[in-house]
Structure 1
Amino acid sequence: MSRTLNALVYGDVDLNLIDGSAVWAQSTVQALSRAGCRTRLVLKAPVRTGRLIDPLAGLPGVTVVRPYEERLLPGQADRPLSPVQASQVLAELDADEPCDLLVLRGRRLVGRVVADGDFEGRIWAYLTDIPQSAAEMTEGARAELTRIAQASQRLLCQTEELRCLLETWVPQACGKCVLSPPAVPEPDSPVPEHERPHDPFRLVYTGKFAPLWNTLPMTRLPALLAERGVRAELHAVGDKIHDDPRHPDFQSAMARALAVTPGVEHHGGQPREEAMRLAADCDLGLGWREPALDASLELSTKVLEFGALGLPVVLNRTPAHEALLGADYPLYVPGRAGLDDAVEAVARAVREPEARRLAADRCRDAAARYTLQAAAERWRAQLDQAFPEAPAAVAARTRPLRVGIAGHDLKFLSRLLDHFRTLPGLDVRVDAWPALARHDPAASRELADWADVVVVEWCGPAAVWYSRHKRQGSRLIIRLHRFELDAEWPGQVDIDAVDQVICVSSYYARRTLAHTGWPESKVTVIPNWVDTDQLDRPKAPGARFRLGMIGIAPSRKRLDLGLDVLQALRARDRRWHLSVKSKPPWEYWWIWNKPEERAHYDAVLRRMQTSPLLEGAVVFDEFGADVASWLRRVGHVLSTSDDESFHLAPAEGMASAAVPALLPWPGADEIYDRRWIHQDPETMASALAELDEDGWRDAGQLARTQVREQFSLHRVARDWTELLVSG
């Protein structure tokens, strides 16, 4: 990121009321400021308290825009902005001073901004209020999220689980989703040791008061604990009491309980720093909620804030909390998280100092991963990727370098194409051929006449055409994979018009030279790219015993040999399974028209149905872009093909810390470490079976390191960029 970026930030939240969504707006601005952005925070509502915005006043590059006070929207009165009004204000602010990125929170708001179309490709959408189950994910919701994904530069996801859900339901989100968990400010004063609890024992809750957050039952805890001989008091911080139509009496009952309940001290709304100071002087945080929220894919900001203060927290046992604090965390509320269960958990914290200390340590360690500084570093890394520096050779030019991309299938160039489009100094256009040998000659001619450099993906008919219609003074680069060598097209290419032929492996570079007789100086190797950042995600439980294969058509991919490996493993341990992510072969007409292909898959499918060791052990998953989330469940990725030019699947698996396992197809040992290559299925199965839990994790981390060093998107994009600008 070579220049200072301008960011606009707007959340569909009222910053007069302190809750997690309002705190998000504050911490996002703080993190962007630390990351070096000029940031304008636009407020939704007239300012009634400066508790959240006052701490932003002195931050470098930060401006708070107050639409009501500044009369940016005539006739607004003193009501909060609607999504329609907010979109209008943001567009006007952008017209006055264009922003590089618009950070938004709130699904209705983002949908409105997308529909208005003023920020196409600049939106960084933070989405939490989306359907979080299959039952809620209607076709209408999917269509709306698809439109948002298409218009956004990035989608900010609070948790890994939320990111995976979004990618599974919305393929257009894949590659755009990045993690943006809650950020907790570092305490500005020494944190108490909490070695000796207060008497009475001090419980603390901060945030909004709502039925599902169990805030009304919490006020009964001091009295119920007294019945067990435990002196306790509840300190409550916050002033946002929900008006819930499903609980019409809640608002008045909650206000009354805070005001008159013995043992409850209500501190009202406080600035975030003061709320944390009050919490730091307590003994136990409360994060206990209704079981209806147990399936939530969000992360509780208050748990992290309490952890940063060294406070243990009583909270529900959920998959998200177990991932954060461990399955053996001592202060989970047991059972169905009823009031009696919460009383018992609090009583344990009082009576068992060791349990309280262990819980405090776990919470402190978890919070250390979510500091405001860590958030700033994440933002800086994401912005560096989204806004790369211009190459020196391009920066010195008087006009942008014109880059044309042509071909019938650009999937292997997709992220490189995204990178080229973000590079300052490059003007990129695409000639997308609708089929291998079908195109619009006029459009292709226009691109050839316009471009300084043309990149043709696949050495097929497009490569032949561009080699015969090259403009004098331009450069032509062709990328050759594998299947083209068996066809007539390389012989039809005018190699004198070609500046460079790119192969993805040394083995296929040698084969290309031997097959074509082209000058050696014109053939070079740049490997396939792997989006290592997107694929690097925590493994799901049980991944160690799951094999994965990506793509099983045509038959030379050798699913039958993968079944040999699985069968040998299940003969030792029935926990082994195989997941296959692929289109079925009958969806490829050019494959299914061949009798020998149909016979191969008929035999494979019959074998799965009749083998006692394979029955129920193979799962076919839908083909799609959600490879990163799919790989979370996979511990080993197989490559059992007869031949490959590169085979991206094991490299993608390695980026996810899965262990690659390859059979020795020609050239495999020039791409992958020989330790991952096995002579036959039985040898492969034996090697995988010998890996215990630690050995599997160590092997996965080694594989992950190797693929980052060799094939990371950043490294490959750098090599391609040098090739484009070097002429």
Structure 2
Amino acid sequence: MSAKPAPGGRVREEQRGRPLRALVYGDVDMNIIDGSAVWAQSMTRALAGAGCETTLLLKAPVRTDRLTAPLDATEGVTLRRPHEEGLLSGSDGRGLTPEQAVALMQRLDAERGFDAIVVRGKRLAEQAAQNENLAGRLWTYLTDIPQNVGEMTATVVSELTDIAEASRFLLCQTEELRGFLESSVPAACGRSVLFPPVVEVPDEALGDSTPAQRLRLVYTGKFAPAWNTLEMTALPEALEQRGVPAELHMVGDKIHRDSPDWAKRMGRALEDTPNVHWHGGQPRAEALRLSAGCDVGLSWRDPAMDASMELSTKVLELGALGLPVVLNRTPMHEDLLGADYPLYAGDDAESVADALTLAADPDVYAEAAQRCRDAAARFSLENATARLRDYLEQACPGPPSGTTPQRPLKVVIAGHDLKFFTRLADYFTSLPGMDVKLDQWDSLRHHDQYRSRELAAWADVVICEWCGPNAIFYAQHKRPGQRLLVRLHRFELYAEWPRKLDIDKIDAVICVSPHYASLTRELAGWPSDKVVPLPNWVDVEQLDRPKLPGAEHTLGMIGIAPSRKRFDRALEVLSELRRRDSRYTLAVKSKQPWEYWWIWNRPEEREFYERTYRRIQRDELLSGGVVFDQFGPDVATWLRRIGFVLSTSDDESFHLAPAEGAASGGVPAVLNWPGADTIYSRQWLHESTTEMAEAIHGTVSEGRFDEARAAAREEITGNYALRRVCELWTRLIVDGERPAQVDLSTSAVTA
């Protein structure tokens, strides 16, 4: 029951008075060696390594300690055995149901107070998401969900939305799964993070990259039709016919019995097929030792599984052992091993035998083994631990200096529309040294006056999002010693509210750019020291994803309405580029102008868009070169295919899109609207559409795209990363510290 203190996490422990605590529960049986059980073991060990006191709740009674014994010996880990401990009344000895598991999770949470609750399994996650006591701290690992659009029904989307909204993180095994989930479930955007498979093998269990005289094949895992395990048993004979002596070693004891006839044939094949050696279920260390004693691993599956968005842990384990692996050719496997990897299999056993015949060649074998070893190295426990440590820092930051969890700073955030402030509010809420309450106004002018008065009397600091009636109200009710911060946007600058605001009651007016700070001082006549530039944030960690092939020829625009966004100028850029190279296209992620009543009801706006869309239809250079994508929050996924993000507006207060494009690994292309040079360095600014097109084409055609995008990412990360902006806001809230001027002195890269 008791656990040794987990290593690491000392700074956080000193700030909180205790180390972080995590609970892990997977809807998996730790008696069966499969990918899900190995996941539970690896996740528990990685969290402990990241500095958490980690509790693993077991689903089933322990019948074999092949996977649990190593955890019992791990510092910082506690195993809870509900059946053996008598935590279940009337237990029949079977595994926990999702309902029982969630009830026990809540019970353990009441005892320990977990900071993160990691769960695996869709049914379990659905149940946990309904529990208000657990919601918000769930880290949900999703694999057993539909992986194609046809199966992503409205019911499934609704279920996954509930899970996403209750989760702090959605842990996705691959980038493909994360992108599909975000595109299908809008609530997953901003919460989806990567947690790839974890590979651990002992140093002594390594192959020698030399095939034996008799080719030894190995398969470990479940026996199921889609895994082609029955077809594998025919491989030794097929290889013998090709003059390649071979034997097959199979490790595992889980035979799928959905089809009794297939299960019987599988069992007979394991027991009776010549040169097939069935080792049954084995402790993981023994399974790895048996695998290391073989020459080639098998992960050949039915073509129906080629579209899977999951990456096989077994492939990575075999690679880490030094074995090459025969597997299906899929985009994911090509990304992992290269398109020219020599041991891709076809649909039938004959094609697999052909690939294995190649593996008998020492040179081919050595190359394939090295490819698999290099790929597996990226999935180490150390990398997983570092990844989780970073997520823990995001989800569970320590209290800011100058505050204590025992006497937190009381902060109110007030406004009618908090969509631009949500991520900041989430961060402040996560800080142990702050007690945050929201005053959500119904509209610009309408609110619950009794609640607002109550909050005004309670707060140490009030933040008004928008400089509107909310700011006027809180200025009128400001207490001595209370601090009042107001964030002003472009919208309010030209309205009447700033003129009605008693600026003497305001400690700071926050603007998102130096240019708009200057305009605010000029138009409102406020003292210079009252107006503080504090930039918008860019979630660089969410946006930093690998680009898809062809991204360098794809321009992007996010939002083309109203007409001052100047979509027509973007078309001029595209037309200039397509004169040079027809591969250039423009992708537009935006609502259409007719979806905004206040735009479409204005004749000059309607005329602008009718003229612009006619041009797309009639201009040979533009026809077929513009793609309109659905508006939505899945920007990070969309940006994977975008190389250049355009900003062709007449004016902007900040314009986040080019910065998001840079954070995604693209290049900003910005017309020099007023104030642009206070947000972006000169290397991304252009004086005309012709100049912009020339710069883009030169960057691509001269092979400078990678250099330019690296410089852009460095600039945006250094100036506008979410973590940095959150820290700037925190210092302003806690002690009034004004942020330093953004540094735009970057290395010159022509783009």
TM-score, normalising length: structure 2 = 0.94
Distance 1:325 1:461 in 2: 59
Shift of 1:235: 1.1
Residue 345 of structure 1 corresponds to which residue in structure 2?
355
Residue 539 of structure 1 corresponds to which residue in structure 2?
547
Distance 1:519 1:307 in 2: 65
Residue 651 of structure 1 corresponds to which residue in structure 2?
659
Residue 697 of structure 2 corresponds to which residue in structure 1?
689
Q: Tell me whether 653-662 or 1-10 shows the greater mean CA deviation.
A: 1-10
- Alignment pair present for 1:39 and 2:54: yes
Q: Is the 8 A contact 1:187 1:308 kept in 2?
A: no
Residue 497 of structure 2 corresponds to which residue in structure 1?
489
Show structure 1 runs of 4+ deviating over 4 A: none
Residue 214 of structure 1 corresponds to which residue in structure 2?
228
Alignment of 1:216-295 (within 5 A): 216-244=230-258, 247-295=259-307
Distance 1:379 1:409 in 2: 33
Q: Is the 8 A contact 2:128 2:135 kept in 1?
A: no
Alignment of 1:122-271 (within 5 A): 122-189=137-204, 191-195=206-210, 197-244=211-258, 247-271=259-283
Q: Residue by residue, what CA displacement relative to the aligned partner does 1:118-139 show, whole Å, maximum 9, x if unpaired?
A: 3111111101011111100000
- Alignment pair present for 1:678 and 2:693: no
Q: Is the 8 A contact 2:413 2:462 kept in 1?
A: yes
Shift of 1:190: 5.8
- The count of corresponding residues between Structure 1 and Structure 2 is 720
Distance 1:500 1:137 in 2: 47
**What SS does structure 1 have at the residue aligned with 2:83?**
coil
Distance 1:474 1:587 in 2: 43
Aligned partner (choices 551, 561, 569) of residue 577 of structure 2? 569
Shift of 1:22: 0.9
- Alignment pair present for 1:26 and 2:26: no
- Alignment pair present for 1:372 and 2:381: yes
List runs of 5+ in structure 1 lacking aligned partners.
none
- Alignment pair present for 1:664 and 2:679: no
Q: Residue by residue, what CA displacement relative to the aligned partner does 1:277-311 show, whole Å, maximum 9, x if unpaired?
A: 22112111111100010000001101110111111
Q: Residue by residue, what CA displacement relative to the aligned partner does 1:614-640 show, whole Å, maximum 9, x if unpaired?
A: 112212212211111111111110000
**What SS does structure 2 have at the residue aligned with 1:205?**
strand
Q: Residue by residue, what CA displacement relative to the aligned partner does 1:483-526 show, whole Å, maximum 9, x if unpaired?
A: 32222221111101100011111111111111111111111111
Shift of 1:338: 1.2
Distance 2:241 2:432 in 1: 69
Residue 340 of structure 2 corresponds to which residue in structure 1?
328
**What SS does structure 2 have at the residue aligned with 1:10?**
strand
- Alignment pair present for 1:714 and 2:728: no
**What SS does structure 2 have at the residue aligned with 1:692?**
helix
Q: Is the 8 A contact 1:186 1:372 kept in 2?
A: no
Aligned partner (choices 299, 320, 330) of residue 308 of structure 1? 320
Shift of 1:647: 0.6
Identity %: 59
Residue 361 of structure 1 corresponds to which residue in structure 2?
370
Distance 1:46 1:211 in 2: 28
Residue 443 of structure 1 corresponds to which residue in structure 2?
451
Q: Is the 8 A contact 2:465 2:486 kept in 1?
A: yes
**What SS does structure 2 have at the residue aligned with 1:361?**
helix
- Alignment pair present for 1:76 and 2:91: yes
Distance 1:481 1:124 in 2: 34
Distance 2:46 2:603 in 1: 60
The CA RMSD over aligned residues, in Å, is: 1.4
Residue 701 of structure 1 corresponds to which residue in structure 2?
710
Distance 1:583 1:475 in 2: 39
Distance 1:675 1:345 in 2: 51
Shift of 1:592: 2.2
Distance 2:230 2:343 in 1: 20
Shift of 1:186: 4.2
Residue 517 of structure 2 corresponds to which residue in structure 1?
509
Q: Tell me whether 620-629 or 526-535 shows the greater mean CA deviation.
A: 620-629
Q: Residue by residue, what CA displacement relative to the aligned partner does 1:324-362 show, whole Å, maximum 9, x if unpaired?
A: 11111111113xx21111111111111x33322222121
- Alignment pair present for 1:56 and 2:71: yes
List runs of 5+ in structure 2 lacking aligned partners.
1-8, 14-18, 737-751
Q: Residue by residue, what CA displacement relative to the aligned partner does 1:654-713 show, whole Å, maximum 9, x if unpaired?
A: 000111100000111111111111111111111111223742122111111111111000
AA of the residue aligned to 2:693? A
